[in-house]
Structure 1
């Protein structure tokens, strides 16, 4: 072999330090891994994560300190984590139209930004992703947005007004790509823009790369593939979300970039939310469900009304006649796509878990720590639902006063 043979005894002797005891001592700062990187000191990492001022040992598990001997400490690690990706002069732009309902990015919104990031990073010279949304939302930088344009008011209340505003954005920014969600108003808006711009549009994109966009045709028997056009609509769960360094998400002045927008023929319009108590489960954003662990259904209905959520139930409850059949959640009932699902006293049968697979956030209340619903939930309360419901109602009443 061309490499010199390692002498472990010599390396051990070089790291030895003087000690007052008979036990040998070594300098861990001189210890390197096989790849030449500084070896991690677990004692230093443990000491750095300890929280003082408590009689009982407290450990800060949220700390990002790497705990390396001779390496960066806590402050340097935090500075490294806060390193923001900045694109000052992009060669081109990609506009991602987001729903961002209630000022929060949905999973679908993050996927649209991930698709924009994919196209922007692969282009020659590097591009920037501009998020266009009706109101401010948190997490735009982490989701991959370099810029953000807030467009509220009437032009987001009706599709015709939004189309006019977006045509003005197109004339001002001349983006290389427009990305829309294949979902409700955004899908309608994309088709309106294609007609007004007299450009081709690729809808229902199932697979997207920097060089190719693919969608199904002929009932899924064939595929259409080609270079990504300027206008595209993307299906949900087809593109991965952005998961790299946070971007700048610099806010742009909407009046500056679209001052020449044409006035809409619609004078005033607004979106009237539906009544959660009578809304279909498939259309609800927030669902509260009762399971076999709920016996006080009066408190359950009061809690659902106070939370402004749509009431649902497990199959056991519906079979017992305690809730109507249309309220059943699961593979044999209604498959949900809600933003939040609140399960009270539901163990989590396989068919029920299939029905909530599309829910972004799941909260579970159950007395069994090892219940399948508790494992599925992002937040779990291990307690009797009969005690949790009045406690939540009490907290909601206190919040109103």
Structure 2
């Protein structure tokens, strides 16, 4: 051991005051070199340094801590501040096999479900394999999400052509030759996976809730039994079943794959559009954008107007629902509805523990509250420390300016 051994008797002898009839000790002196070197504080001297001069009655300035110069406090050298080193990027130079992921990536951005599929792919790849992300068009942040390779196919047309997209994806996968291919079990991802499976002539294991190198598991017969199978070529991953990749960022090296030109489809869909549901009638559990009112909202008419202008689904805290000011089905929280929304807008909500449990699955949280230390302000990614009664009319005016309407 490199730690010096203390000698309490020698330390006590070193601080003894010489010449006193009764043994006295100077405890403000530094310890001997054989000690730990930790300085001893003198609370009396620090208290005397805080006393306000010129007052008949003792008064002390507690806003600062007085450090008495001398041997009482050890001299401290300022430490040089260094910038944190950037995270090291992991590189898999020569992988033994590839695990391909075909995400939805709406708008060129990986969704929460896509990141979960990448986490499942990392579990299948292990240390010897690599994860290859296959996208049509641009995609943000494939490396931090866990992709070692990135195959980007140019989206040649803006028309809605699921059959043509499946043909291009199948041709790219045939050229890539991965060991496993994962899709998200979503509206678009599930449809694409089934089309690719038909084109490749391979079986598809759908809605996997457990993804591991030793097997895939999914529920069946009303979740009364579990079906287990060895990982095959094509698999779809259920939402909220696998954790995201939480390791250091990966390389996401661009890779070019030669694909054969797909033959034009005989029946081509010229135009298609997704008709969104009315946000006022969408259940809270299925809503993408929720705006909630709390106890800090007194003008509920302005709140309802703002919700309609934002095209959000209305929500509320338990306080307003218990008071009968908002319907019970709009209550957000552990005792109400647990949300899985993309964005949650909290107006005048302090953030009780049960309410925070209800918004734990939201990707983005925006909060408006007068209390800087409110729990909802700490949870929010964007916080506005202001009265919600002032913020709501200001937002309505900005929305009216964007649409060109008179507020």
Q: Note closer, same or farther for the CA distance 1:275–1:184 as it changes in structure 2 (3 Å cut).
A: closer
Aligned to 2:22: none
Cα-to-partner distance string for 1:331-369 (whole Å, 9 max, x where unaligned) = 565442211111111244555444433212222222345
- The Cα of 1:394 is off from its aligned counterpart by 5.4
Under a length normalisation based on structure 1, what TM-score does the superposition of the two structures give? Answer: 0.70
1:21-52 CA-partner distances (Å, limit 9, x unpaired): x97999xxxxxxxxxxxxxxx9665x416xxx
* DSSP 3-state at the match of 1:48: coil
Mapped partners of 1:147, 1:398: distance in 2: 44
Distance 1:314 1:267 in 2: 45
**Alignment counterpart, residue 4 of structure 2, candidates 4, 8, 14:** 8
Matched residues in 1 for 2:187 and 2:159: separation?
A: 13
Offset of 1:89 from its aligned partner?
4.1
Specify the structure having the higher radius of gyration (Cα): 2
8 Å CA contact retained: 2:159, 2:271: no
Q: Structure 1: state its 5+ residue gaps.
A: 11-21, 27-41, 50-62, 65-76
1:155/1:161 contact within 8 Å kept = no
2:164 alignment partner in structure 1: 161
What per-residue deviation string (whole Å, max 9, x for no partner) do you get for residues 92-149 of structure 1? 3221121222333222221111111222234xxx333222334423221111112332
What is the alpha-carbon distance in structure 1 between the residues aligned to residue 269 and residue 205 of structure 2? 32
Matches within 5 A, 1:121-270: 121-122=126-127, 126-148=128-150, 149-150=152-153, 152=155, 157-252=160-255, 257-264=258-265, 265-270=267-272
User: Relative to 1, partners in 2 of residues 1:333 and 1:134: Cα closer, same or farther, differing over 3 Å?
Assistant: farther
CA distance in 1, matches of 2:349, 2:183: 36
CA RMSD, Structure 1 to Structure 2 (Å): 3.6
- Give the paired residue count: 337
Report matched runs for 1:1-400 at 5 Å.
6=2, 8=4, 45=79, 47-48=80-81, 63-64=83-84, 77-78=85-86, 81=87, 83-122=88-127, 126-148=128-150, 149-150=152-153, 152=155, 157-252=160-255, 257-264=258-265, 265-272=267-274, 274=276, 277-278=279-280, 280=282, 281-305=284-308, 307-317=310-320, 327-330=330-333, 334-349=337-352, 352-369=355-372, 371-393=374-396
Change (3 A) 1:367 1:6: closer
1:268-314 CA-to-partner distances (Å, cap 9, x unmatched) read 23433526644614433222222232233454345445545333333
Q: How many Å separate the matches in 1 of 2:316 and 2:136?
A: 34
Instruction: Give the TM-score taking structure 2 as reference length.
Output: 0.69
Instruction: Please state whether the residue corresponding to 1:225 is helix, strand or coil.
Output: strand
- 1:36 is matched with none
In structure 2, runs of 5+ residues without a counterpart are: 7-28, 34-75
